């Protein structure tokens, strides 16, 4: 028996088999029963077969469009896919360690990485990127249909304990707490926002353990004692007997499941609208199940992940129509392509933008010719997307949103292209209904001219992930400054307040999407700042409803007034957490 001491942030005593989550590597690690080893090997082989088929299709497409020399790039990846050091090595790990296939592939990649890092020749060392591209595609194909942590945790046995290097509130909100009894993380402190979530759900939790994700093995029996701040590995019979006497194990899941069906509302009756952010049409089922009223953000650039042929007008039309019909009568807000030049070139060569977790972070530091700027510079590509969207509009309630806008001129030019696309369709004999046009407020230039932009559009969406980054000049991918990425910085709260006021003065709706919306503690403060419409990952919606039902909007407004007078992040966070404690969170 081994005891690891951390910081207990949510009381309670629970036991279960460890499930390991490495959020930085975006992979879940869990032990599989001996009877399921065969099915894991089948998933691994099926993933390899899908990957091989995709690479061959990409190679053929590039050969037709760009010639055999460029297509030869993918010959190397196909050869690597059949290398005995990749899939066969991963299969051996599945059998020997009885772990899931995705984790085994990740482990093999880390072994490859160590070898590449020791190579002196810079050309050969850079081939690590080719391996990373292949491994990313292979993992995506292994977990086909399992794109979110909640999806992945469906494969986990009941009565599990989640052990993670870190656990953001937006990720924690997606976990199926009917299976996961508690969690422990290497990172975190008493002011960790995930702690607010844990206490709200009555899920025992310990943070600040430093190296628990390295010490604990998947499938190992562990006990979380949130009251005494201990993670107990391989507990004794006496400890397990004490756990068996605990009476609070099943309280949280019932509350969260009940929250799915009811509308979001504060304790004093203020109605809050909660929509879902999604990347693929297949995510619609999760959004509806979670109780989303609509799709607040569909990231249309993920169409590129299906390859170059997926962006022609007919293919896009089918995708958008499926989205609108699937969410009807709720509205669907489609963000036009938010890619930059490099990513567009990747699509031209058949590479994908990637899938799964962390997509926004991967794009987070990209500036320059991106989003609407790039669309305006590629009018044929933009017009194709607009025609597909306008054709699909008759099948549901569509809203079109432009990303990375910095000025009125861009909006006016984009609206002219929308009118031109509509005229093209009318000439084909098609009718085009009126479509609300909006912009994502995600860079300071847009935020500080929100009053001017509001005269040109029908709605705003505040994109906090990029807005925080650009306001604070922090690249989230740069570990040297990533700690400076602070949603509670006074400037961020004031910018959000300013944009909300500009929208209300212009009498247009304003919503907020991004990780701030999925963080229950920050969500309550945003309501206090006057926002009532949010869009978040589907799994976070029931938790958001649960948290909002316990607070009064009048109290949150008073909290926001106090916070806006504070000068430091530490003071703001302290006041927020104290207030939430008083509000019965």
Tokens 């460890």 belong to 18
Under 8 Å between Cβ of 231 and 206:
yes
Q: How many domains does the chain have?
A: 3
Q: Does the annotation mark 513 as catalytic?
A: yes
pLDDT confidence of residue 365? 46
Indicate if 251 and 280 belong to the same structural domain: no
Clarify whether residues 287 and 373 are in a common domain. yes
Please write down the long-range contacts of 500-505, taking CB distance under 8 Å and 24 or more positions apart.
500/462, 500/529, 500/530, 500/531, 501/530, 502/450, 502/451, 502/453, 502/454, 502/460, 503/450, 503/454, 503/459, 503/460, 504/530, 505/451, 505/454
Residues 208 and 304 in one domain: no
Q: In this structure, what CATH number is given to the domain that contains residue 307?
A: 3.20.20.60
Looking at the structure, do residues 560 and 575 belong to the same domain, yes or no? yes
Coil, strand, or helix at residue 425? helix
Considering the domain architecture, whether residues 478 and 544 belong to the same structural domain is answered as: yes
Query: Around 196, how many Cα atoms within 13 Å sit in the side-chain half-sphere?
Result: 31
242 shares its domain with 306: no
Question: In the chain, which stretches have pLDDT less than 70?
Answer: 23-27, 62, 65-67, 69-71, 73, 117-118, 120-129, 144-158, 169-171, 173-174, 189-193, 196-197, 200-201, 247-260, 305-309, 342-343, 345-367, 476-479, 482, 581-585
- Residue labelled with tokens 């106090």: 562
Do the domain assignments include residue 419? Answer: yes
Looking at residue 231, its pLDDT comes to 95
pLDDT at 417: 97
> 7 and 83: one domain?
no
> Is residue 459 domain-shared with residue 443, that is, in the same domain?
yes
Q: Taking Cα atoms as reference points, which of 466, 382, 465 lies closest to residue 424?
A: 382
| CATH number of the domain that residue 81 is part of | 1.10.274.10
- 6: in domain: yes
DSSP bridge pairs for 513: 463, 535
Nearest to 536 by CA among 191, 272, 140: 272
Q: Residue 161 belongs to a domain with what CATH number?
A: 3.50.30.10
Q: What local confidence, expressed as pLDDT, does residue 362 receive?
A: 43
CA dist 216 and 451 (Å) reads 53
250 within a domain of the structure (yes/no): yes
Given 89, 114, 142, the domain boundary residue is 142
Residues 221 and 288 reside in one and the same domain: no
Distance of CA 516 to the CA centre of its chain: 12
Instruction: State residue 580 phi and psi, 5-degree precision.
Output: -65, -35
Give the dihedral of Cα atoms 11, 14, 18, 19; nearest 10 deg. Answer: -60
Q: Exactly one of 95, 193, 210, 471 is catalytic; which is it?
A: 193
Place of tokens 């999925």: 518
Does residue 483 share a domain with residue 425? yes
- Locate tokens 């305006």: which residue? 376
Q: Is residue 236 part of a domain?
A: yes
CA 566, 568, 574, 579 dihedral sign is positive
pLDDT of residue 148: 53
- What is the radius of gyration, based on Cα positions, of the chain? 24
Q: Are residues 386 and 241 in the same domain?
A: no
- Whole-angstrom Cα distance, residue 517 to residue 514? 6
Terminal alpha carbon distance of the chain: 34
pLDDT of residue 114: 74
Residue 151 lies in a domain: no
**Model pLDDT for residues 120-168, shown as the tens digit of each residue:** 666 555 566 677 778 878 887 887 655 555 555 555 666 889 998 888 7
Q: Which tokens belong to 266?
A: 């504060």
In terms of C-beta distances under 8 Å and separation of at least 24 residues, what long-range contacts does 74-82 make, across chains too? Answer: 74/350, 76/130, 77/130, 77/133, 77/134, 78/52, 80/130, 80/131, 80/134, 81/48, 81/51, 81/52, 81/55, 81/134, 81/138
Asked if residue 152 belongs to a domain, the reply is: no
Other CB atoms within a 10 A radius of the CB of residue 561 amount to 11
Question: Which of residues 221, 256, 291 is at a domain's end?
Answer: 256
Q: How many alpha carbons fall within 13 Å on the CB side of residue 2?
A: 9
Q: Is residue 29 part of a domain?
A: no
Residues 296 and 337 reside in one and the same domain? yes
Task: For CA atoms 557, 562, 567, 572, give the dihedral sign.
Answer: negative
Does residue 193 carry a catalytic annotation?
Answer: yes
pLDDT at position 350 is 47
Q: What is the pLDDT of residue 128?
A: 65
Q: Which is nearest to 548 in space by CA: 518, 578, 523?
A: 523
Residue listed under structure tokens 């562990």: 222
Q: Is residue 496 one of the residues assigned to a domain?
A: yes
Q: What is the SS3 assignment for 231? A: strand
| Catalytic member of 210, 513, 546, 574 | 513
- Report d(CA 56, CA 455) in Å as an integer: 49
Show the domain range for 80.
34-142
Separation of alpha carbons 482 and 540, rounded Å: 24
Q: What is the pLDDT of residue 26?
A: 59
Question: Among residues 119, 142, 165, which one ends one of the domains?
Answer: 142
Residue 351: per-residue pLDDT: 47
């Amino acid at each position: 028996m081994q005891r690891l001491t951390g910081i207990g942030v949510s009381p309670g005593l629970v036991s279960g088999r460890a499930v390991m989550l490495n959020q930085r590597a975006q992979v879940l690690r869990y032990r599989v029963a001996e009877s399921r080893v065969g099915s894991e090997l089948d998933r691994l082989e099926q993933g390899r077969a899908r990957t091989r088929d995709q690479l061959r299709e990409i190679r053929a497409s590039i050969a037709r469009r760009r010639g055999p020399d460029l297509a030869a790039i993918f010959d190397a990846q196909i050869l690597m896919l059949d290398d005995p050091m990749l899939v066969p090595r991963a299969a051996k790990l599945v059998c020997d360690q009885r772990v899931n296939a995705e984790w085994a592939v990740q482990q093999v990649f880390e072994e490859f990485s160590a070898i590449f890092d020791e190579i002196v020749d810079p050309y050969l060392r850079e081939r690590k990127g080719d391996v990373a591209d292949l491994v990313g595609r292979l993992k995506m194909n292994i977990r086909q249909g399992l794109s979110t942590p909640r999806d992945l945790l469906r494969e986990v046995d009941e009565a599990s304990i989640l052990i993670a290097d870190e656990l953001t509130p937006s990720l924690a909100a997606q976990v199926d707490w009917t299976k996961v009894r508690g969690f422990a993380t290497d990172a975190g402190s008493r002011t960790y926002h995930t702690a607010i979530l844990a206490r709200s759900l009555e899920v025992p939790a310990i943070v600040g353990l430093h190296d628990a994700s390295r010490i604990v093995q998947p499938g190992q029996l562990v006990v979380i004692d949130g009251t005494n701040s201990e993670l107990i590995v391989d507990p004794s019979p006496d400890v397990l007997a004490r756990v068996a006497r605990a009476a609070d194990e099943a309280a949280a899941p019932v509350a969260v499941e009940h929250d799915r069906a009811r509308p979001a509302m504060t304790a004093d009756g203020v109605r809050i609208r909660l929509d879902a952010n999604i990347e693929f049409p297949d995510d619609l089922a999760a959004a509806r199940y979670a109780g989303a009223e609509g799709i607040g953000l569909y990231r249309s650039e993920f169409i590129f992940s299906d390859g170059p042929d997926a962006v022609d007008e007919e293919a896009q039309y089918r995708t958008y129509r499926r989205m609108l019909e699937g969410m009807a009568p709720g509205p669907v807000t489609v963000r036009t392509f938010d890619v930059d030049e490099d990513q567009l070139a990747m699509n031209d060569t058949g590479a994908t933008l990637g899938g799964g977790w962390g997509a926004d972070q991967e794009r987070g530091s990209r500036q320059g010719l991106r989003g609407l700027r790039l669309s305006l510079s590629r009018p044929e590509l933009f017009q194709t997307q607009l025609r597909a969207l306008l054709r699909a509009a008759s099948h549901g309630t569509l809203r079109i949103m432009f990303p990375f806008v910095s000025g009125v001129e861009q909006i006016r030019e984009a609206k002219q292209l929308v009118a031109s696309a509509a005229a093209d369709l009318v000439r084909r004999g098609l009718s085009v209904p009126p479509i609300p046009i909006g912009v994502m407020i995600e860079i300071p230039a847009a935020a500080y001219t929100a009053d001017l932009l509001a005269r040109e559009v029908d709605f705003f969406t505040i994109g906090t992930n990029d807005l925080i980054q650009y306001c604070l000049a922090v690249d989230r991918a740069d570990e040297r400054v990533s700690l400076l990425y602070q949603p509670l910085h006074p400037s961020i709260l004031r910018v959000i307040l300013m944009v909300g006021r500009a929208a209300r003065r212009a009498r247009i709706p304003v919503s907020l999407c991004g990780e701030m919306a999925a963080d229950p503690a920050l969500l309550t403060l945003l309501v206090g700042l006057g926002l009532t419409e949010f869009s978040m990952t589907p799994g976070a919606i029931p938790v958001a409803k649960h948290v909002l039902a316990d607070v009064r909007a009048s109290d949150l407004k008073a909290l926001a007034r106090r916070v806006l007078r504070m000068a430091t992040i530490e003071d703001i966070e302290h006041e927020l957490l104290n207030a939430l404690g008083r509000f019965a969170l």
